[in-house]
Amino acid sequence: MKELLKNLIYTGVGAAFLTREKIDEIRKELVERGNLTKEEGKEFVEDLLKKSDGARDQLELWLNRQIEERIKGLNLATADEVNELRRQVEELQVALNSKDAPETSSTDA
């Protein structure tokens, strides 16, 4: 019965999105109904929090991978590539400015 309740909660609520408050609320309800003792309720909360954190971490990793794959598919420049291009443009501007500057010769004086 207890395992069935745990499984229903995991699948029905979505462990990745359970907050501590919601878990405490579920625990209190199960203890009040007599489905869990106070000690079992404490273990239940700890177990759910661990699983919730783990599920949240897995979801975050999956989302990050999905985002990275989509960005790669867009063929966008990375920050390093943009910075390198900026550096090259600055070098070219310096080179052009030095060519455009009027040359002074010693015969002009």
More confident of the two residues 5 and 99? 99
| pLDDT confidence of residue 64 | 85
Mean pLDDT of the chain: 79
pLDDT at 72 over 60: yes
pLDDT at 25 over 70: yes
Residue 98 pLDDT grade (very low, low, confident, very high; cuts 50, 70, 90): very high
| pLDDT confidence of residue 92 | 97
What's the 3-state SS for 33-90?
Answer: HCCCCHHHHHHHHHHHHHHHHHHHHHHHHHHHHHHHHHHHHHCCCCHHHHHHHHHHHH
Residue 10 pLDDT grade (very low, low, confident, very high; cuts 50, 70, 90): low
In a domain, 58, yes or no: yes
In a domain, 109, yes or no: no
Residue type, 78: T
In a domain, 74, yes or no: yes
Element containing residue 100 per DSSP (H, E): helix 79-100
Domain count for the chain: 1
- Cα first-last separation, the chain: 103
Domain span holding position 51: 2-99
